[in-house]
Amino acid sequence: MLFVLLASVLCVVTAYTLRANVIDHGSITVSGLNGIGVIFGFIFYVLASSVFGAEIAVTLIASLLLHEMGQVLAYRMLGHSQAKFRLVMLQYNQPISAQPLTNDGEEFFTAIMGAVFSLGPMVLSLAIAAALLPVAPVTAHQFWLFGVTCGALNFVSLLPFWPFAGGRCIRTSVVKFWPGLGPMMTVFLSAAMLVASLRTGSVALMVLAGIGAQSLWRPSPSGLEPMEPETGLIALSAYAFTLAAHFSAGWLLFLVYI
């Protein structure tokens, strides 16, 4: 129960910190909630169900929406009052906000916030699952499934592949003191995933390796004011912690499906 209490405190602190960004700027506008959006949402659910099963498809959609909310709130915290909540699996090519970012610090913050915002619910779900397992194993399994799916999704999003959130985080945080770190990490992980996919026959790993390889030829957007080296080190540390936290929750799902 202590784990549940601590996880609940984490969620409450997160909600309290971000509350003003919803209250002060009014309600959040949702884009993509129309007939076409519903059709594509159904197609996404069917495809996810065929690959992972219906239970994981539902938790995957919930995790995507939670990730999107974190990004929207990040833009709100930066003063973008017109930031829109997208149905991410349908409109990922459309920006959350039409107002441009001004520096790499803002770019990093908006990129990592989806995963950071998901930490509290992920930890709380796993804590509740552990607490309920002796008395309600079926319900505990549902909470556990959401926790590991949320961790796996956010870990993948934080891979250092452009234009994944992780690629944006790495390239913006190290540009002033180690600009080659991002490409080095991309090459290493892509090669490792390629070798692993050839050894195991995993299609998912092959796809991720291909995404990593193509990201090497995609230039990062330029023109934003870079972070100072000290700030970049703090940002890089936050990225590493968030990446590790989500991997620790999502690795069980990787063992089963990847």
Q: Convert the pLDDT of each residue in 58-111 to its tens digit.
A: 999 999 999 999 999 999 888 888 888 887 655 556 788 888 898 999 999 999
Q: Give start and end residues of each alpha helix (H) in the chain.
A: 2-18, 20-23, 35-52, 54-77, 88-91, 104-132, 137-157, 165-173, 181-200, 203-215, 229-257
**Whole-prediction pTM:** 0.89
How many Å apart are CA 98 and CA 110, to the nearest integer?
14
How many Å apart are CA 91 and CA 74, to the nearest integer?
18
pLDDT in the model for residue 247: 93
168, 115 Cβ separation under 8 angstroms: no
239, 173 Cβ separation under 8 angstroms: yes
**Confidence grade of residue 19 (pLDDT, cut at 50, 70, 90):** confident
**What confidence tens digit (pLDDT) does each residue in 120-173 have?**
999 999 999 999 999 999 999 999 999 999 999 999 999 999 878 999 999 899
Beta bridge pairs of residue 225: 103
CA atoms within 13 A on the CB side of 189: 24
Helix (H) or strand (E) holding 85: strand 84-86
**Confidence grade of residue 21 (pLDDT, cut at 50, 70, 90):** low
In terms of Cα–Cα distance, which of 113, 81, 85, 86 is closest to 17?
113
**Confidence grade of residue 10 (pLDDT, cut at 50, 70, 90):** confident
Distances (CA, A) of 182 to 27, 84, 168, 220: 37, 29, 9, 11
